[in-house]
A and B are shown apart, each in its own frame.
Chain A
């Protein structure tokens, strides 16, 4: 292959323009590095924009008893203790500053009557902790970051897809890909690369994710030799839309329950009172999702196999003020007026807790020169992510990745670009246009989505997982026969052909790890192993690339230092001894029972 390509040179290449990518770019630029951002869509359309509920930070504005230790404990408990404790600690300690910093970029959060940032309740958070703007927090966040990036004059290359990390020995020295608009090829030479590519929800059929969530970052990282941590941990958001078919999977924010919504079954019973009498609807996401699934399995589901989510008791005015986009979404897409009718909801794939293994302090992956932040990275959330922790994750670790990469490039030079790697990738990219195969990339994608939904979904067992693995491996062979008509100019079929390869790689990692984890923990629910296995509770699973095939390895969960470990010796979430100065506690302060 001797296709031409353009070469661009920079210090720090940021792949992805969601919350983590933008925050990383801002920090790397602040460190004095030249930064280039590459994103698959237009700027400001990344998946962060869809985040609704809020950003978790222990500001203590509404409940003054809150502090980082409690946020840390909630995160670790939610993650069933297989999280990286240091990431959870840094996250809990730094997220308040990141929220306030966002306001200096121009973001405006909802406010308390005395003018501070308001916080709302969310699942499995001990106190009211989520800073929010109605139900469009993600939009506010991405707009603020986007404005900052524009203000700093950072170059953003929109509608480019990078598909291969270029290596010089072990070190990552750039990336190669194509311009979606005209199909031309581009190679970036960079001293450091930050992956902020998000998750992989699109490998499932029912998902709240956009087309972009195809696991590119994990796929590229895996192919380049980085380690993939906890891939089996895939979060189902308990409440996605169910009906009509076209909207299936679209997210119904947890803020609906945070504001006081009830879940009921076909017998009009609030079933969460049974499954988790203390936290009720605001239990952690894995528990609520399973409860909805169990109710439907027991024949008490809604007409389309979900549960009812009811906010009518909150009053029309409150609903329209606090949940405006939910009101609009149901009215417009489902003909349901949520101030008068309950919403029909069912679990939807939402988030990947797993991803590339990174260092807690620097967000560095196991490959020199390669950093990862946000959903593409793993470790913070363990076996289950708490609502609101991902937006703060983006900011805390986006900033850390940017700072670390900025420091790294100060002393590092550019690496050597290997023409053979580029020629290989060009061939991989171009084959679907030229070869004689008959497979349709969209149909293969749909087949994969169905196989994963069926075999590696909410409820898993050995038989289903093994069948799913066979399916994935067969699809992998069929993917070698994909053919796409048309030219390279803005050709979504051609784009899908490459995405498919990442999706298949990630799927294989998920299924193999899900077979290996013979227990139920967090989001990973095995019908044939319903209990937790304490031995497996001490390990993370790592998938790695062994000459092109997916291999697994166990790695001990990092051990907490004694001063943090003592936090978990008391019974669940006991509030710390706080000074109860008279009048220190506002009258509306209310602790959510844990």
Chain B
């Protein structure tokens, strides 16, 4: 507190990086100290008084938009949330995020992140999921932590896989692990992304140094709550059929509920499930057709879409409600990129023969 009081009559020295496309250096500015000042205030002061063309991004100035990311005394932080009084009498060095190509001064080219984002399969509810959705609070609450992300890209900036290797083709980075986790844990999502995680998204590249969760301004436990669970999920799906079977018996994903009054007082009843939405199963009925699980009803019955082959064209007919005793085999999830799709392709080929 005493240091803070002493600073208010003083001015503070800022060393702000200025430059374009690879070249640049620090420039020194003195800014009058004001009580409660944050680094962004100082940058605005510099812009108005000394350097009208000083480039920086900012929007809300309330740590809600994640625009004003920078490296302040070497640490990736939001400028709007970094109080100048915490640095005592030291000079304050403000640099752009150095993992991304420099555009000018404090602004870097973060477009790579937006390109990565496009590659992640979007939220995919079951086609027959009734709207409005019914989801229990405890199922939605576990997703909130990931959805708090304000896309400031500080975690991407600090991630050594992206930063040091100068090769962003191996790993999507922590921000997109958080996004994939949010989608994977969404109670009504039916898409599996473990194949993507193992392949292009490169979750295996992370060696859990936890730097990303240290710099997260939203305090998301990126490594503990997003990356590690995704690694586990990827590994079990890919390498451990036994664990995979166990997860099939008690799937982490809540199956689509039909809601409605018949489901009891809470609207949704949890029953032990062997089947999850998008699983490919084989039915006992005539011809032993393949079917895709569209929903698991509260009474334990399955809503299935039955595969009909017209030449080489596939066509799903349904929905039909069947009892689980009418099913002979569960081939696991139909996943566009992961293990399920391979199994499914194989069976399709068999079927075509």
Contact = CB atoms under 8 A, between A and B. Distances in A.
B346 to A, nearest CB: 29
B194 interface: no
A443 B104 contact: no
A210 B60 contact: yes
Interface stretch (B30-38, B205-213, B280-288, B309-317): B30-38
Interface stretch (A27-35, A244-252, A310-318, A509-517): A244-252
Interface string A74-112: 000000000000000000000000001101111011111
A440 interface: yes
B59 A210 contact: yes
Given A42-B67, A150-B122, A490-B107, A115 B36 contact: no
A134 B147 CA distance: 11
A492 B53 contact: yes
A474 B152 CA distance: 40
Interface string B201-237: 0000000000000000000000000000000000000
A494 B134 CA distance: 50
B186 interface: yes
20 contacts: A47-B59, A108-B135, A109-B140, A110-B140, A111-B136, A115-B267, A116-B132, A136-B148, A147-B122, A150-B122, A210-B61, A244-B35, A245-B37, A333-B38, A440-B48, A441-B52, A442-B49, A485-B52, A490-B104, A492-B52
A105 B37 CA distance: 39
Interface in B39-56: 41, 47-49, 52-56
B162 interface: no
B125 interface: yes
Given A47-B59, A115-B259, A446-B48, 13 more contacts: A42-B151, A46-B59, A103-B132, A103-B133, A104-B133, A106-B122, A133-B144, A244-B34, A245-B36, A485-B52, A490-B104, A491-B52, A492-B56
B131 interface: yes
Contacts of B239: none
Nearest to A442: B48
Interface string B16-37: 0000100000000000001111
Contacts of B157: none
Contacts of B36: 243-247, 333-335
Contact of B41 (A103, A246, A493): A246
A42 B56 CA distance: 12
A17 to B, nearest CB: 12
B5 interface: no
Contact of B136 (A103, A115, A151, A446): A115
Interface residues on A, range: 35 or more
A115 B137 contact: yes
Nearest to B114: A43
Contacts of A335: 36
Interface of A: 41-47, 49-50, 100-101, 103-106, 108-117, 133-134, 136, 138-140, 143, 147-148, 150-151, 158, 181, 210-212, 243-247, 250-251, 325, 328-329, 332-335, 440-443, 446, 484-487, 489-494, 496
A151 B107 contact: no
B337 interface: no
Interface of B: 20, 34-38, 41, 47-49, 52-67, 81, 83, 103-105, 107, 109-111, 114, 117-118, 122-123, 125, 131-137, 140, 143-144, 147-148, 150-151, 183, 186, 259, 265-268
Contacts of A116: 132, 134, 267
A332 B34 CA distance: 16
A484 B67 contact: no
The CB with the most chain B CB atoms within 10 A, among A108, A158, A245, A489, is that of: A108
Nearest to B55: A490
Contacts of A104: 125, 131, 133
Contact of A250 (B34, B62, B132): B62
A118 to B, nearest CB: 8
A325 B267 contact: no
Contacts of A491: 52-53, 55
